[in-house]
Amino acid sequence: MSLPPEKASELKQIIHNHLIKINIHEKIRDVLAETVREDLDPGHGSLSEEDFLRALQRRGIVDDVMKDLHFSKEVPDTELGLQSTPKPATHYIDKDLTKLKKINMDPARRYLYLQVLGGKAFLEHLQEPEPLPGQVCSTFTLYLHFRNQRFRSKPVPCACEPDLQEGFLLEIHREGLGDGSKMADATTMLSICDPVHLVLIKRDTSSETTLVSSYFLDWRTVLSSPSGKTSIAVELLGVGSEFKVSAGVLNVSLELYPPLTEALSPDIITTQQSLERQKTAEKERLFLFYAKQWWREFLEIRQSNQAKLVKIFAQDENGVNRPVCSYVRVLRAGRLLESPRQAARFVSLLGLEKAPVVGGGGGGKQEQWCSLLAFLCRGKGDCEDHATLLCSLLLGFGLDAYVCVGTKPKGLAHTWVMTRGTDSTITFWESLTAHRYLHQAIDPDAPPLAPQPRPSYPYTTIGCVFNHKAFLANCQPTDAVELCVFDFHNQSQWKAMSEEAVGSVCSPGSTTSLPPLPPLCGPSLEPSAASNQLELELRYLVVEHRKDLGLATVWEDHLSYVLSSALAAYELERCTGTSCGNEEFQDAVRRAVPDGHTFKGFPIHFLHHNARRAFATCLRSPFCDEIVCCRGDHVRLAVRVRVFAYPESACAVWVMFACKYRSVL
C-alpha cells in the first residue's frame, strides 16, 4: 500500500515524536554499550546490525515501542459508496462514519459547546464483560434536544464506565422578531430557561430499545464561569418505578463561544432559577386547587360520574405528575409528512410496549406517559404516547383533534384520537393501527324497528377528551361511546375546564417544568439500499433453509420484480385506506406464469429490517413455509422486499415470497 507524500511525512513525524517521548535514544545507547562490553569477544571483528537488533529484542525495547504505538485504519471514500452491498456485520459498525467537519460558526451568534467526557457508576452493568472484537453487545446511545436542535451520539458498548465521548455544538439564539441574528448577551441567556434534554437509550443484541434515563440539564451555570467553561457531574436517574434510583453519572463539560466579557455572579443565576421555580410552583398550585374544585362540581352533576374514566393528571417517565393537556402540542412535520393519514401511518409504525412493572403482583399496569423526545428516541411506547403524538400532528395539519380516554371491550383502559369536522362529523383515529372509524350516535329514543347505525369501532366507553387547550369530561347519562353525542358546546353533556386555567400550566412557555417540544427528524434509512440488503439476506436464508431439506433453489428475477407493484399497493392502502393497482399486478402475474403452472404468493408486513427475525416469523406461517419449502417440477422461487422509510427510525417493511411450479396430476 502506497501513501501520498503528505501522509508519509505525517506518519514519519508521528513515529519520530513517539520515539522522543519514550526516550528511545538513551535506551539504544545503553543497550549498545552493554552489548559491546559483554557480548563481543576479542576475536570478533565488528558488531553487525543483526547482532544489535537481536540485543534490542532480547531486552524488550522493540516490544515496548510497538506496544505503545497505535494506528487507526482510515476508510477510503470509495469504500463508503454503494457500489457493492457489504455482508451483514456481526457487531456494531457506525455506518455514518462521521468525519470531523469544519463548521462555519456565525461570529454574530453565541454557541454552547457541550462535551460528554465519559460515564461512570452504571452499576447495572458492573459485571458486564469487555466485548471482544466481532462480538455482539448491548450499546448506549445519548440523544440531545435544545431549542429545536437535535443530536445523538455514536453507540458505545454498555459498561459500568461507558466510553461516551462526544461533543455537541448548540446554538443559543434569541427568539424576538428580527433578533435571531443578534448575539445573545448575558441577560438574554439568563432568561432562556429551556433546558438541554438528555435521553439515554440502551439497545440490546436483538435491537430492542430500553429507556434508561431522561434528564433536563440547566446549562446556565456556565454563565458564572470567568473562563466561559465549566465541568459538572450529571447524575442520571432511572425511569418509571425506578425514577428515584440512580442509573449512572455522566461527566459533562460546558463551554460558551465566544465567552462572556464579564461573567455573571453565581448568586444572580441561583436567584433567577429560584424565581422560576417559585413562579412554576405557584401556577401549578393554583391549577391543582382549580382542578379539585372542578372535580367536586363534576361529581355533583350525577352520582354515576364517579365511575367514569376522567383523567386530569398523568405521570411521566420521571415520576412527575403533569396535566394531561401538557402532553399535546401543535406539531408540524414540515416536509417529512404530507397528510394527516400519512401522519397516522407514521405513528402506527412506532412499536407498542407497556411500561415494565417490577414484580408480578398488583394486576394493574404501570402508568408512564412519556415526554415526546423519550418516545421518539426509544421508538416505542404505550397507547397514550401514540395518541398524544397523533393528536399533536393532526393539530399541526389544522384539524380539530382531541385525545379520547375510555375503555375497550372487557373494560381495558385505552386512549385514541378523535377529530371533529366543520359539518359536525366525528371521526375516530386508532393511533396503534392508523384505522379510521366514522361515529354515528345511536338514538335511544327511536322506535324499536327504526334502523340504527352499527358501530365498527372497538371502543366501548369514553370518560373525557382533551387537547393542548381544552379538557372536557363526559357528563351524559351514559358513557357508552355508541350513545355519546359530541356537542362540546352543550354544557349538560360535556363539562369543560376553563381554557385560561388549562393554558396557565399547559401552553408553551407557561411553566419551566414543561419539556420543550422537539422537531421530528428525517428518516434514518435509505429505502433502496435497505430494500436491496434485506432482499439479499433473505435470499441467502432461503437457499440455506432449502439446502438443509435437500432441495435446490432457482430464482426468477423477473417474477421477483413483478411483485414490486403489489407491495407498493399494500403500503398505499395502509396510508390512504384505498386500494389500487391490483388489476395490473394480477395481469402481470398471469403473463409471468405459463399455462399448466401454479403460482403462490405470501405477503407479510414488519416494523423492523432484521432478516433473521423476519424469516423466522415467516416460517411460522404454514402458507409461507409451503412456498419456501416448495417441491415439484420446474420450481422457481421469488422474493421481493420494499422498505418504506418514515421520520425518525420508523419504517414499514413489506416482504413477499412467491413460487411457481408445473402442476403434476
Give the pLDDT of residue 57. Answer: 74
pLDDT at residue 50, as a whole number: 72
Kindly report, residue by residue over 193-204, the tens digit of the pLDDT: 999 999 999 998
Q: How many CB atoms lie within 10 A of CB 254?
A: 22
Neighbours of 400 (CB within 10 A): 14
* pLDDT beyond 60 at 24: yes
Select the more confidently predicted residue: 663 or 2.
663
User: What's the whole-model pTM score?
Assistant: 0.81
What pLDDT sits at residue 598? 92
Residues 344 and 646: their CA atoms lie apart, in Å, by 11
Residues 574, 577: Cα–Cα separation, whole Å: 6
Confidence grade of residue 83 (pLDDT, cut at 50, 70, 90): very low
User: Locate cell 450529571: which residue?
Assistant: 234
Confidence of residue 352 (pLDDT cuts 50, 70, 90): very high
Q: Which of 306-320, 407-421, 430-444, 559-573 shows the lowest per-residue confidence on average (mean pLDDT)? A: 430-444
Which H or E run includes 499?
Answer: helix 499-506
Residue 176 has pLDDT above 70, yes or no: no
Tens of pLDDT, residue by residue over 506-538, are 988 888 888 889 999 999 889 999 999 999 999
In whole angstroms, what is the distance from residue 256 CA to residue 415 CA? Answer: 44
Per-residue pLDDT, averaged over 14-30, amounts to: 69
- How far is the C-alpha of 166 from the C-alpha of 116, rounded, in Å? 5
* Cβ 316 vs Cβ 371: under 8 Å: yes
Long-range contacts of the stretch 231-235 (C-beta < 8 A, 24+)? 231/117, 234/198
Name the range with the highest mean pLDDT among 6-20, 106-120, 180-194. 106-120
Measured torsion, CA atoms of residues 460, 463, 467, 468, in degrees rounded to the nearest 10 = -150
Report angle CA 575, 578, 581 to the nearest 5 degrees: 100
pLDDT for position 570: 93
Mean pLDDT of 119-138: 81
Taking the C-alpha atoms of residue 456 and residue 437, their distance in angstroms, rounded to an integer, is: 7
CB 390 within 8 A of CB 431: yes
Q: Looking at the DSSP assignment, which residues form a beta bridge with residue 438?
A: 427
Mean confidence (pLDDT) of the chain: 85
* Cβ partners under 8 Å of residue 390, min gap 6: 343, 344, 347, 401, 417, 429, 431
For residue 151, give every residue at least 6 positions away whose Cβ sits within 8 Å of its Cβ, in sequence order, or none. Answer: 143, 144, 145, 168
Cα 268 to Cα 250: distance, rounded to the nearest angstrom: 26
Question: Are 408 and 416 a contacting pair, CB within 8 Å?
Answer: no
What span, in angstroms and rounded, lies between the C-alpha atoms of 36 and 70?
32
State residue 78's pLDDT score.
36
Give the span between the Cα atoms of 384 and 350, in whole angstroms. 12
Within 8 A by CB and 6+ apart from 235, the residues are 246, 248, 249
The secondary structure of 244-257 as a DSSP string is TSEEEEEEEEEEEE
Torsion (CA) 242, 245, 251, 257 in degrees, nearest 10? 60
Q: Residue 275: what are its φ and ψ, rounded to 5°?
A: -65, -40
Nearest to 615 by CA among 626, 624, 623: 624
Contact 256, 228 (CB under 8 A): yes
